[in-house]
Amino acid sequence: MFESLTDKLQGVFKRLRGKSSLSEQDVNDAMREVRLVLLEADVNFKVVKDFTARVRERAVGEQILEGLNAPQQVVKIVSEELTALLGGEQAPLTFSHQSPTVIMLCGLQGAGKTTHAGKLAAMLRKQGRNPMLVAGDIYRPAAIKQLEVVGEQVKTPVFTMGDQTDPAEIAKAAVDKAQRYGNDVVIVDTAGRLQIDEALMDELRRVKAAVRPHEILLVVDAMTGQEAVNVAKGFNDALEIDGVILTKLDGDARGGAALSVKTVVGKPIKFVGVGEKMDALEIFYPDRMVSRILGMGDVMTLIERAEAAIDQKQAAEFEKKLRANKFDFEDYLEQMQQVRKLGPLDQILDMIPGLSGKVPKMPGASEESEKQMKRVEAIICSMTVQERREPTIINGSRRRRIAAGSGASIQDVNRVLTQFEQMKTMMRGFSGKGLGAMPGMPGMPGQSGKHAGSNKKSKRKSNSPFKFPFGRS
């Protein structure tokens, strides 16, 4: 989402390089450009005006900190002010210690309430909680059925009383049932409209009065830009919301809603939707988001994703096999499947310091990488157990059979075999130093064709404490 904003801000900072100190004119020129960049990103005008005024006030006449040059000083000030703009600190959910915690989701139709009710339930289940979903949208066709499907996907019970009962009564009955059956969180999915109207607000007020939710979360679509901020203001005026779930943050919107909603509405962004899958919901950390916007990556989120995706016991077994030089195609397939759990390649690259905003985003690149990985998976699955464990026995006739069985060409099979051998060689080098991550995978940067693993610069030691699992680009 912030690709254009990142590129333009970095362009502003680049023009400040070479200056040993900051004059008032330097700051004014930079702030003029920053103001234009933020306005182009669809950030609220008043928010932009106040933001640039604060940065200018701090930067003018301020001495360069020890170890920081002029552009780094500006980046530091901009980073701190952007973090404050986004809320400063992560805003956690409020949980009840006595009765079930009630979370009420609201928003306009099409914002993604039903889907994100399921995503939130999935996240809470991982945290050891026992949530229940409540079908409170009795108007939209198939809304109840959709929530039931979502509930089945995330292994969470769905409470419904059909489409003829008042939503406030449904929510109240759901809380009573949760208390009896030990569900400690109740997530109420409410109805939406195409626009804010009094009938919708009256219904939501009745639901709020019936169950007294501990959290009212507004689900807004980041793709709607400044309209998302207007929607948030309207719901907050009527319901006094506690926070925002910003959806479609993985899209190509300009990012103005994320940078404006806290200041304009006064309520924090608590979660962001970053994909279509049920695990594609992230806790919103202002400082991490600013780090991405400024092109400095987001190592902490990447580490958390890796820890959630990687089975530590399997990783230990994998390292033993590498040390014993027993890495085979079954291990290769297992590691590839774990890599895919980390998320789309473009999102992962944006979290790597030095790569964030630097790797060209070609249309369909992420989808093409996924296709390549599926093709490799099909080739490996077309091998016999013996072939996967002893790749050296794969001769010409076996390669033809594998190609026919996977729908690939013989050249594709040869390429996979070559990449596998190159990876074995590369990972043997890593095994002597201890494994900090999984091996690179086909279709990833630095792992394609005859050049995979051949870059001599890759032998240089990295100063980063986190080992990027996909090789170098």
Binding-site annotation, residues for GTP: 107-114, 189-193, 247-250
CA distance 214 to 99: 10
CA distance 323 to 329: 16
Query: Which amino acid is located at 376 in the chain?
Result: V
CA distance 37 to 8: 7
Residue 271's SS3 state is: strand
Q: What is the dihedral of CA 14, 473, 353, 17, to 10 degrees?
A: -10
CA distance 373 to 328: 17
Q: Give 151's Cβ-side CA count (13 Å radius).
A: 21
CB atoms within 10 A of CB 169: 14
Residue ranges of the binding site? 107-114, 189-193, 247-250
CA distance 336 to 314: 13
CB 239 within 8 A of CB 222: no
What residue has token string 């990447």? 302
Q: What share of the chain is helix, strand, coil (3-state, %, to 5)?
A: 55, 10, 40
CA distance 309 to 372: 20
Pairing status of strand 243-247 against strand 131-136: unpaired
Q: Tell me which H or E stretch contains 135.
A: strand 131-136
Query: Which amino acid is located at 162 in the chain?
Result: G
CA distance 217 to 91: 12
Spatial CB neighbours of 31, under 8 Å, sequence gap ≥ 6: 52, 55, 56
| 144: nearest Cα among 132, 154, 155, 136 | 136
Length of the chain: 473
